[in-house]
Structure 1
Amino acid sequence: MIVVGKITRWLGAGLVVACAMQEGAQAAELKVVCAGAMRAVLLQLAPEYEKASGNKLTIEYATAGGVEKKVLSEDGIDVAILNKPRLDALVKKADIVGGSVAVLARAPIGLAVKKGMPHPDISSVDAVKKALLNASSIAYTDPASGGTSGITIAKELEKLGIATQLEKKIHLVSAMPGQASPRVGDAIVSGEADIGLQPISELAEVSGIEVVGPLPSEMQSPDLTYAAGSPAESKQPVAAKGLIDFLSGPNAAAAYKIKGLTPG
């Protein structure tokens, strides 16, 4: 079981230096769009950044596919946080400035059950396969929503050769009205699923469930590496770069670890 603790407040030397460089400058208001896998940690880090920099952040959350669509269709975005393959594609199309991009963290997919229920063995690919076949119902993000984890899980089930066998057990989760991104954990709490698969950073936001642990490394995907970049149309590239530097710095890395993410 993975226990997620509280993040203590701190001010890192890197951020202090960055703020000193901006001393006397007018505070910026930055618009950020962020994928759901990074939501929990950004909720923690945003107040730290705002307090130290004097800048204000307006943050919108969506699936990685949703963030990509926002970058392509909305004005005024200063920083986009999404999985790196999608970000790289935006760089190739010149929608994101290549020099602004920084890798932040990887978001391992975990398996969760309802609080108090037995924890299945997930120590190997074969063990995970057995756990999924024995489950009554399995929830994960609907790939059609643009969620990277849902796309990854669907591919893994195909690779395991059990996608057809599990077809009637699968409960695909999309964001409900008022939600920024799908909450797989809610399906476990409600009894719609007895097993949920999603990045640990997202599962850990839901009370009433227990994260058994991450899936084996063979079942993880490089597509679940998240990065930040600034759109070419941002009117505040310097302030945007300062935020990206903070999010890719050592203090943020400590926060990522606490939230079940792997820095870098």
Structure 2
Amino acid sequence: MGKIVHAVEINVLSGAAVEPGLHAAADIYRKQTGNQVKIAFATTPEMRRLVGEGVAPDVWIAPPAALDEFATSGRVDAAARVLLGRVGVGVAIRDGARKPDVSTVDAFKRAVLDADAVIYNRASSGLYVEALLQRLGLAEQIQAKTRRYIGTDMIGPLINGQGREIGFMPVVQILNWRGRGLQLAGPLPADIQHHTTYAAAPAPGSAGGLGFVRYLGTPEAKAVFARAGVE
């Protein structure tokens, strides 16, 4: 009699910056294994809060420094960590809006000053943008029109804006919203660009999580992420 193989449910908690590639890779893994992959998204600060609340997914996907932090509390098997790639920051505007010039640092500064609202989140990319605006001497000048949101909550105000709103998000996420309300005005200029690296790691003792993380490290999965814009 053949051995009966039961499907496993794998719960993943991930940063939203790798969402398109992660969904595509998970779909392939489901078809290959029959296992169910359930994905939830959170910012790194939200993950820290969830760790404190005892949340225990099978797989964590976050910047390596965050995974190291979670490993110290026993939530992550650091030895099984797999690098997924890096994601740059882009400038998002709503569909139909005129694209601002953000090709140089000076042009970028003009675009920020001319915008009716400057929108970003409190995730890794948003924290970088906040520091960048301060470094460029813009933060105080645009304080009254700056809007900060939790995670992808910023997308609605961008799509529904009526003026010259600009937002800052991972390029991958902006491209994922093409045809659904957002367009990419351009990546940040090279001189001020910032890349956030993401990695995946299983929870200790989670066989299902370990199997999925190992799949994410395969050439097939890496090609899926690359097609989605993860470098």
Q: State whether TM-score is above 0.5.
A: yes
Structure 1 residues 249 and 184, CA gap change in structure 2 (3 angstroms): farther
Q: Please state how far the C-alpha of 1:25 moved relative to its aligned partner.
A: 4.8
TM superposition score normalised by structure 2 = 0.87
Structure 1 residues 71 and 52, CA gap change in structure 2 (3 angstroms): farther
| RMSD over equivalenced CA pairs, Å | 2.2
Is it true that 1:259 corresponds to 2:228 in the alignment? yes
Greater mean alpha carbon deviation, residues 96-105 or residues 200-209: 200-209
Report the counterpart of residue 61 of structure 1 in structure 2.
Answer: 41
Q: Per-residue CA shift, 1:140-165, capped at 9, x if unaligned?
A: 11x3xxx1111111011111111100
Is it true that 1:242 corresponds to 2:214 in the alignment? no
- Structure 2's unaligned 5+ residue stretches are none
Q: Describe the SS at the equivalent of 1:67.
A: helix
Q: Describe the SS at the equivalent of 2:152.
A: coil
Structure 1 residues 45 and 161, CA gap change in structure 2 (3 angstroms): same
Report the counterpart of residue 34 of structure 1 in structure 2.
Answer: 14
Structure 1 residues 256 and 248, CA gap change in structure 2 (3 angstroms): same
Distance 1:220 1:24 in 2: 51
Q: Describe the SS at the equivalent of 2:141.
A: helix
Distance 1:69 1:217 in 2: 33
Q: Describe the SS at the equivalent of 2:140.
A: helix
Structure 1 residues 214 and 249, CA gap change in structure 2 (3 angstroms): farther
Report the counterpart of residue 128 of structure 1 in structure 2.
Answer: 108
Q: Please state how far the C-alpha of 1:103 moved relative to its aligned partner.
A: 1.3
Distance 2:174 2:21 in 1: 13
Q: Per-residue CA shift, 1:9-48, capped at 9, x if unaligned?
A: xxxxxxxxxxxxxx96543221111111122222222121
Q: Please state how far the C-alpha of 1:88 moved relative to its aligned partner.
A: 1.9
Report the counterpart of residue 190 of structure 2 in structure 1.
Answer: 217
Letter in 1 for 2:134: E
Q: Per-residue CA shift, 1:187-208, capped at 9, x if unaligned?
A: 2221166111111222233312
**Which of 117, 128, 134 matches 1:158?**
134
Q: Per-residue CA shift, 1:199-227, capped at 9, x if unaligned?
A: 122223331221122112333335x2111
Conserved in 1, the CA contact under 8 Å of 2:25 and 2:225? no
Distance 2:72 2:189 in 1: 32
Report the counterpart of residue 20 of structure 1 in structure 2.
Answer: none
Distance 1:217 1:231 in 2: 36
TM superposition score normalised by structure 1 = 0.77
Report the counterpart of residue 32 of structure 2 in structure 1.
Answer: 52
